[in-house]
A = this chain, B = another copy of it.
Amino acid sequence: MPQLSVRAHRLPPSPIRKLAGYAEAAKKRGVKVYHLNIGQPDVETPPEFFEAIQRADLRVLAYSPSAGYPGLLQEIANYYGRLGQELSTSNIIVTTGASEALTFAFAAILNAGDEVIVPEPYYANYSSFSLAKDATVVPITTRIEDGFALPEMSAFEERITPRTKAILICNPGNPTGVLYPRAALEELRKICLKHDLFLIADEVYREFVYDGAEHHSTLELADMEQHTIVVDSISKRFSACGARIGCVISRNKELMEAIMKMAQARLSPPTLGQIGAEAVYKMPPDYYQVVAREYARRRDVLVEELSKLEGVVCPPITGAFYAMVRLPVEDTDVFCQWLLEEFQHEGATVMLAPGSGFYATPGLGRDEARIAYVLKSDDLRAAVRCLGAALQRANSLKAIGSTT
């Protein structure tokens, strides 16, 4: 048979979805599975989303313009205007989720063999998207002990080579739940200007920051018009993951022209999702506050319940809806599979995303797991208690986690 590409063999399985088969099997056995493994919120999509689609009363479901409907582009520009960022609609191209936005950004800047520096742990699919361009993620490790704060400028500079094209951050962070302060962004700005690197920022969790903290966008950074690329999405912001509507934003005209050609090649982003997106971007600012408050409550429940579990380390969570926690087990890949295959507590078990998949450095994250606190408080509390029971049972079995 003909050979597949080298990249086909190198593509990693999704650490978030790779346990899916075991979860299905558990459900078939009648076990309730609390999904803390995936960023699929149970928050209702605003009804305005569906109402707009119904009101549109389409007869022909046609392509939209390749860059997205002008009305949606204008609403996105208005949204950024309210955040203090003046954007023209030509600085924005609507994409099929943030995934396509990042794919376009990578395609526009990365040649084969190029490198992108990414603080780890990071959203695992960044590796897949860079691999799709035969480029490499160069990780810079952040540590749970430091609350996953960005390392010093010198640590970045050590990793810069002639092949380095960009630094990619997620702010606030998936999977870390960490919001970068303005000072950290200023450091990144200095590095990018000094070494002439693109700064790509995944800011899809921007509205989910807690304890009165303020999110600073990379778009605020001075003299970075040619360097800054923002990847955004309505998936989490409006709990509309299935709409597949995101956007890529940059003031770099040449870059946006290149991305526009890619956008034309794939014709258009989904029409229905865009109609809904335009409607929800019109919602008043208190929508964001209500949702952020709900996630803050869930975060509090998570932290409170995790604090009762011996040996579990949960760093401060200041944004997004994830926590990268340390568990008192040797290998969370084994533990998370065991949770689904063998464990149950009062008819239920918990699904987590094992930590190793979020690190590019081999061996890191083996005692960590990502928890997405996307469930209602009661379910979340029950899920963490279930995790506690599992840790006790695993401890009493001793060998779990050391059997590999």
Contacts and interface: CB of A to CB of B under 8 A. Distances in A.
A109 B45 contact: no
Nearest to A17: B264
A43 B66 contact: no
A258 B41 CA distance: 28
Interface in A221-244: 226-227, 239-244
A270 B243 contact: yes
Interface string A54-66: 1000111111101
Contact of A242 (B255, B258, B268): B268
Interface stretch (A7-15, A365-373, A395-403): A7-15
Interface in A58-86: 58-64, 66
Contacts of A166: 2
Interface residues of A, number: 81
A13 B63 contact: no
Contact of A273 (B111, B240, B261, B270): B270
B61 A2 contact: no
A197 interface: yes
A48 interface: no
A125 interface: yes
Interface string A261-272: 110111111111
A55 B8 CA distance: 39
A241 B2 contact: no
Contact of A11 (B6, B110, B262, B273): B262
Contacts of A54: 54
Interface of A: 1-9, 11-14, 17, 38, 40-45, 49-50, 53-54, 58-64, 66, 96-97, 99-100, 103, 107-112, 114, 125, 128-129, 132-134, 165-166, 196-198, 226-227, 239-244, 252, 254-255, 258, 261-262, 264-273, 276
